Chains A and B, each alone.
Chain A
């Protein structure tokens, strides 16, 4: 039998793509090697959010006196947190299974290998069985980058060096945790283990944390973290890892920091090897499958979505890319518009942003204006965040007077940012947004406040 579509990989891009294809009537097969739901559901977004929520409850209880609530003997039971996390993951994975079933998608467990292309389509081998599909959606995701640091391999073997996969299942909270990399994953894990009682140190090569986020917001986040007791070693490069210590270089000096456990979170790279892409000649560029904005590769009817294309490595980007791929397979014109994809860091306080930062806008030569207000313009924020120092920043294009970037730090930002994404994608102008009604009292009102700083 020939499938209309074979999806390789059951993460966000894979399972959603398969669901949409199945719903549209394509005879679809999904191949997953490990767990349905992929990194996002099993080792990323969802489990980390389960942990962070527990940490948040713990922090509220511990520091409630600012709000007139005191609690004694507050304990974060890490074992229970992990158990609950596993329950959450299980529930959601079961949900995906039933969704796939409802969408008439067949699922095969095993490692897929693309063998060749024949008249009928593409042949994919799984567990020595061959399947043929007229089209392919490659959604094999990504794996953590392991830089060639002496001691890292031994550490992984012995279990004192961890990736995002292992850290979510460690049975005990380490006394000291060193996180290599101050990006989204590193910051989120720092937030949890700090609340759970670890002494956390983050070693980052750049002079700021949070990767590409707005510099000012990066600074505020850094101060918030430092206040909580997290240590930062910026402009620092890890040169050696021992059992019990991490050695790094800063300003040419070698220093060491104690570590019971080390989390490697310096980034991820697309999974393009060992799946037979070379047998059908799929073009790889800088370690990722090269796609256009429709998700098409250089081979006919071969699409790629999610981390494997090396673009954004965010689950929600993967969702959209998969949908776009399926739409194009069905002959519907659709493209991914990458300029309006929101990003969130689920730290406490939350950081959320979409569109251009001042830095990227300048690099692109966009003539822009900026407005910035304190989160304290929001009544709800003041009521709920004693001593909070969040901000909201909006960038507009000076020529067209439409929004091109929004950056927020403060809780609820994660839930607000999609609205800003909508404004950017719809190219709403300042004067259009001035006509919108924001609910009061909400934190989202700061966007409106920002907008009124601009002239039409």
Chain B
């Protein structure tokens, strides 16, 4: 009997994954454990192995397709077997053209099926766009191109308010022009119809312009040929780009800087290095120490351990600390849940595990959300001061800088000391300058007196 291979669900919040590579072709023989395909969520990548053996009878999605979780991706079985029952809600056969029309031509009686086909093909047709059914319905009803929406829903998903924003921005298309417009690659086209709607004439004009452009680049191509390499943006890079831009565009960010005398934490770290092994301690780093102190200090400054949601704020009782991690794929921010209740050693261990999972690409996406405050460290790369960008809806992010030698006067003598920089960015809509400075001040005191703080 034929066995369907479904797109696994990776974490509760993941709704679809993009197939990045196929290792088998339709008709190939497959053994248990053979690599079938690779796929990725917004932030992590996975491989799917065959759990049944036989022939790969049908493949329903191509590389680059965004496949809803639990949808049938392919079918393994014996040659000649009937696979019609597995024809997915995803799509019929992998022809990429005219998906929506296909759906609409279904008989009205078969409503459920129609819905499925429609949903699946839209995802397919639009590549990697995530959009809620409600938002899509609205977009289709009023005639807006949701590819132009700025997603503000969870995990970069387009939700109803994003469509409403498009309507407000007059990004409308007339019914007659809609289909041709959606098929067109170029989306930034200004309409000349009622209320700025894109009309059939605009679409025609766009096509003409396009064919004119086609001629031109050929001339320039030779000059530009060796000068750059075009690299398609990865999903994660797109998500980072969108989130960072939205962060700056939609919040009121302000960064304040200070530094503290790191003598004490350096001494502590040396002690751990020398004797930690004997006590069963992790290799506790300066960053771990800062995470630990931040998770405690934040409890006295809860407006910074919060989410700002336009008309309200969520002030959290516990600190779920986001830790910025540099990976080959791009920036990831896993969360140490309830960091304020964990020991320094626990924090140190958990960070190491999370960093490892991020770098391998095997991080559970559920760990990539839920943070209430973030710490990002560029000090290891020698940075002396920077302005971290908020991870909305969080209200604060702390940047950790490198150690520089500074001088101070002690008993009339000039002495040097190791100064470590801290850069706190906060959302001025939620937090004023003085409360933010007080947090930084207390953080500085706690770090400079780490031995005593640890005893608390």
Contacts and interface: CB of A to CB of B under 8 A. Distances in A.
Interface in B142-197: 174-177, 180, 192-194, 196-197
Interface in A376-401: 397, 400-401
A337 interface: yes
Nearest to B203: A400
Interface string B69-80: 000000000000
B199 interface: yes
B193 A427 contact: yes
A400 B193 contact: no
Given A426-B174, A428-B175, A432-B175, A400 B180 contact: yes
Given A401-B176, A402-B175, A427 B199 contact: yes
A40 B199 CA distance: 32
A427 B196 contact: no
Nearest to B192: A335
B200 interface: yes
B54 to A, nearest CB: 44
Nearest to A402: B176
A84 interface: no
A366 to B, nearest CB: 11
Given A427-B199, A427-B200, A400 B192 contact: no
Contacts of A400: 176-177, 180, 200
Contacts of A429: 175-176
A427 B196 CA distance: 13
Contacts of A337: 192-194
Interface string A422-441: 00011111001000000000
A333 B191 CA distance: 11
A427 B193 CA distance: 9
B174 A427 contact: yes
Contacts of A426: 174-175, 193-194, 197
Contact of A333 (B180, B194, B196, B200): B196
Contacts, number: 37
A387 B200 CA distance: 41
B200 A402 contact: yes
Nearest to A339: B201
Contacts of A428: 174-176
Nearest to A422: B194
A425 B194 contact: yes
A427 B192 contact: no
A389 to B, nearest CB: 32
Interface string A333-374: 101010000000000000000000000000000000000000
Interface residues of A, number: 13
Contacts of A397: 176, 200
Interface string B193-217: 1101101100000000000000000
A335 B199 CA distance: 14
Contacts of B176: 397, 400-402, 427-429
A335 B192 CA distance: 7
Interface string B279-304: 00000000000000000000000000
Interface string A392-423: 00000100111000000000000000000000
B207 to A, nearest CB: 12
Nearest to A432: B175
A281 to B, nearest CB: 29
Contacts of B174: 402, 426-428
A137 B199 CA distance: 29
A368 to B, nearest CB: 13
| Most chain A CB atoms below 10 A, which of B175, B177, B197, B200 | B175
A397 B199 CA distance: 13
Interface string A91-115: 0000000000000000000000000
A78 to B, nearest CB: 44
Contact of B193 (A333, A401, A425, A432): A425
B150 to A, nearest CB: 22
A127 B103 CA distance: 71
B101 to A, nearest CB: 11
A400 B178 CA distance: 9
A425 B180 CA distance: 17
A50 to B, nearest CB: 33
A175 B200 CA distance: 53
A15 B137 CA distance: 44
Nearest to A335: B192
| Most chain B CB atoms below 10 A, which of A335, A397, A426 | A426
Contacts of B194: 337, 425-426
A336 to B, nearest CB: 10
B172 to A, nearest CB: 10
Contacts of B180: 400
Interface in A289-332: none
B189 to A, nearest CB: 14
A394 to B, nearest CB: 14
Contacts of B175: 402, 426-429, 432
A426 B193 CA distance: 7
Interface string A63-99: 0000000000000000000000000000000000000
A292 to B, nearest CB: 12
Nearest to A400: B176
Contacts of B192: 335, 337
A393 to B, nearest CB: 19
B405 to A, nearest CB: 57
Contacts of B199: 427
Sorted nearest first, the 4 A-B pairs with minimum C-beta distance are: A427-B174, A402-B176, A427-B176, A400-B176
Given A402-B174, A427-B200, A428-B175, 14 more contacts: A333-B196, A335-B192, A337-B192, A337-B193, A337-B194, A397-B200, A400-B176, A400-B180, A402-B175, A425-B194, A426-B175, A426-B197, A427-B197, A429-B175
15 contacts: A337-B193, A337-B194, A397-B200, A400-B176, A400-B200, A401-B176, A402-B174, A402-B200, A426-B197, A427-B175, A427-B197, A428-B174, A428-B176, A429-B175, A432-B175
Interface of B: 174-177, 180, 192-194, 196-197, 199-200
